[in-house]
């Protein structure tokens, strides 16, 4: 279950539009920052395939200027689960 958080910056004057677009997308939790200039986005998808599709969808939003990931967690990287980059 991949979980990521982002600081999201809208294009000029488009924070309300971006908020509406993000809240309409499944797997997204959306909050406007206190300064009303950026959005805090948390995504929580069931698997890596869904996460990849969500990322494609986010990149196509016309009101999105940029996204900066602030946190990322993927259950596949948990101790005891082989990752392929070390010996078990």
Give the domain ranges of the chain.
Answer: 1-32+53-62
| CA 27/CA 50 separation, integer angstroms | 9
pLDDT tens profile 12-45: 999 999 999 999 999 999 999 998 899 999 999 9
- pTM higher than the cut 0.85: no
21 vs 16, 57, 83, CA distance in Å?
9, 10, 35
pLDDT tens profile 41-68: 999 999 999 999 999 999 999 999 999 9
60 touches 15 (CB < 8 A): no
Q: Is 62 helix (H, G, I), strand (E, B) or coil?
A: coil
> What strands lie across the sheet with 39-44, from one edge to the other?
28-32, 39-44, 3-10, 64-73
Both tokens of 59, joined, read: 């990149």
């Amino acid at each position: 279950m991949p979980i990521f958080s982002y600081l999201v910056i809208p294009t000029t004057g488009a924070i309300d539009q971006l908020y509406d677009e993000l809240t309409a997308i499944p797997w997204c939790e959306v909050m406007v920052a206190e300064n009303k200039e950026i959005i805090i986005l948390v995504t929580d998808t069931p698997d890596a395939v869904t996460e990849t599709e969500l990322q494609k969808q986010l990149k196509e939003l016309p009101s999105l200027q940029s996204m900066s990931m602030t946190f990322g967690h993927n259950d596949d990287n948990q101790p005891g689960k082989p990752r392929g980059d070390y010996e078990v």
